[in-house]
Amino acid sequence: MNPAMSDKRVEAVDLSHHISNLSKARLPSPLKSLAKYMGKPGLITLAGGMPHPDYFPFADISGNALPQNSYSVDASSRTSSLSWIWNIFGSKPKTIPVTIPKYPTASDQVNLATALQYGQATGLSQLQAFIKDFAAQVYDPAYSNWTCLCHTGNTDGLTRVFLTLLNPGEMFLTEEWTYPSALATAQPVGCKPVPIRMDGEGMRSDDLKKVLSGWDEQARGAKRPHVMYTVPIGQNPSGATMGVSRKQEIYDICVEYDIIIIEDDPYYFLQMKEYRLPSERTTSKTKHDGAAFIASLEPSYLKIDVQGRVIRLDTFSKTIAPGSRLGFFTCNPLFAERLERQGETTTQAPCGFGQSLITQLLVTWGYDGYVRWLHGLAVEYEVRRNFLLDTLASEFHLRPTLGVQGIWKGLEVFVAYAKPDGSEKFGYGNKLFSIVPPTSGMFLWVKLHFDDLHNFQPGDEESLEMQMFIKLAESGVIVAPGWLFAGNPADPPEPGSGHFRIAFSNADPENFKKAVDIFSKVLRDFHKQ
């Protein structure tokens, strides 16, 4: 961040009226009232029930970590599925040591005596410094007094945000297809989603405007929403990627209607090039350029957030490991203070073993190194997406068409038909499914076509989706059925269709091939009936 530029930015506007009643009642632990007396050099503190660090049984902890450049950023070097294995390291990867001693031998060294002691809910100081600098360089928020605060993963983060902003009975805006755990999180808070129509970029600004301007409190049984939950990159489940102009349209509406945006962005760094069929793919060598990689990413809502009404959720789950249970908020200081208070009565600080290992790894890699690591990951997931789609393209006939309705209206959609015997001739003639190759995230959203089934009856969609899901599961493949992701389960599904979400993040190549074989067989049998 250019400090001169920052100086010219204004502070967040007053958004205190968004704080929930529950959150207002949340005071810091009374022990915090002693904080003003603490911190003098030489002070002897006998106030807290803290074990002596000598009694922490670990004298040190360490890890052998992959170097930042372990994964190639050149997708074209990885496109031959025959020569390509994911576990590229074999049994002995090249690694760098990361060690955390119990007691520091240099000032500001990450150490267990601090990391494993009771700590602030804000997290280790070295981690705070890293993420603040990272957010400044990568997200570049548009107001001056933004801050960062650790949480224990985006699910914890989202629960804290919902409890901080929502009173029971309130509704919140979200995409018509969304992350089911977000809805499960809102449920005990007593809050229901208002689904907004989507297109290939995710949430539609025109439908958002329509819903808000026409809000009928009587009919809806709730006040007009003042909170939006959105996954703008690698949208879950659709895989949509939202560009900055759509974000600006939505942001402007949120200013007009005074709405807080919860930007849940676990897949932000998994943005990838558009998919091309193998026959149309051109190979050009890619070299890593950190600034160019960051510039190639669609900007966060923070970049246009001149008022401080965005609470961004970042997680290390997809970039380090889900078991990190570590992530951070970037938001205005008023919200951060309430979110910290809430952390104090739940997890307190995130786990010190995880915090110290991850912090030391990030410090070892440095900002540039972490960006290099992220670039490598993005390419890995791009290669995985390509492999899944290539396998589908080889098993089915994928016909490019123009989407005419629903979330893919106006986009190039691949419609899949069976190849009956491996030849290029069309098969049974039935439309089996449609896809739009995602440009971010971990998921392929598959629209299943039921209206070519000879015995199809409108209204059977959800039942047919689950019948197909069960047949697949019984044949050895589990995908996520579409109904799980319905923003409003009471909404009728798209006529004549069902959905599957297929993750391309985790399987090995031979399993992808097996899964596509099984998928193909189940679809054909289904359409033969």
Residues in 213-232 that interact with a second copy by CB under 8 A: none
Q: For the window 245-284, what string marks contact with a second copy as x by the rule CB under 8 A?
A: ---------------------x------------------
The reply on whether position 106 binds a second copy by CB under 8 A is: no
**Residue 259 CB partners (closer than 8 Å, separation 6+):** 173, 212, 225, 226, 227, 228, 253, 309
User: Which residue, 61 or 173, has its beta carbon nearer to a second copy?
Assistant: 61
C-beta closer to a second copy: residue 156 or 465: 156
Which is nearest to 177 in space by CA: 156, 198, 163? 198
- CA–CA gap between residue 124 and residue 110 (Å, rounded): 8
Residue 104 binding a second copy, by CB under 8 A: no
Tell me how far, at minimum, the Cβ of 333 lies from a second copy, in Å: 20
Out of 203, 259, 407, 515, the only residue in the binding site for a second copy (CB under 8 A) is 515
Indicate the DSSP class of residue 171.
E
Location of structure tokens 């961040």:
1
Task: Note whether 507 binds a second copy by CB under 8 A.
Answer: yes
Beta strands in 296-347 (DSSP E): 310-315, 327-331
440 binds a second copy (CB under 8 A): no
| Binding of residue 48 to a second copy (CB under 8 A) | yes
Which of 151-159, 196-204, 292-300, 431-439 is the region at the interface with a second copy (rule: CB under 8 A)? 151-159
Rg of the chain, C-alpha, whole Å: 25
Min dist. Cβ of residue 9 to a second copy (A): 33
Q: Is residue 354 within the footprint of a second copy (CB under 8 A)?
A: yes
* Nearest distance from C-beta of residue 183 to a second copy, angstroms: 8
| Residue 528 to residue 45: CA distance in whole angstroms | 77
User: Looking at beta carbons, which pairs linking 187-194 to residues 24 or more positions away fall under 8 Å?
Assistant: 189/162, 189/163, 191/162, 191/166, 192/222, 192/488, 193/229, 193/487, 193/488, 194/220, 194/225, 194/487, 194/488
- The footprint of a second copy on residues 10-29 (CB under 8 A) is 22-23, 25-29
Q: How many residues belong to the site for a second copy (CB under 8 A)?
A: 121
Q: Is 156 in the site for a second copy (CB under 8 A)?
A: yes
Interaction between residue 292 and a second copy (CB under 8 A): no
Residue type present at position 411: L
- Exposure string for 290-304, b = 16+ CB within 10 A, e = fewer: beebbeebbbbbbbb
Interaction of residue 417 with a second copy, rule CB under 8 A: no
For 189, the token pair is: 């808070």
Query: Per rule CB under 8 A, is residue 49 in the interface with a second copy?
Result: yes
Q: Which of 11, 133, 188, 428 binds a second copy (CB under 8 A)?
A: 188
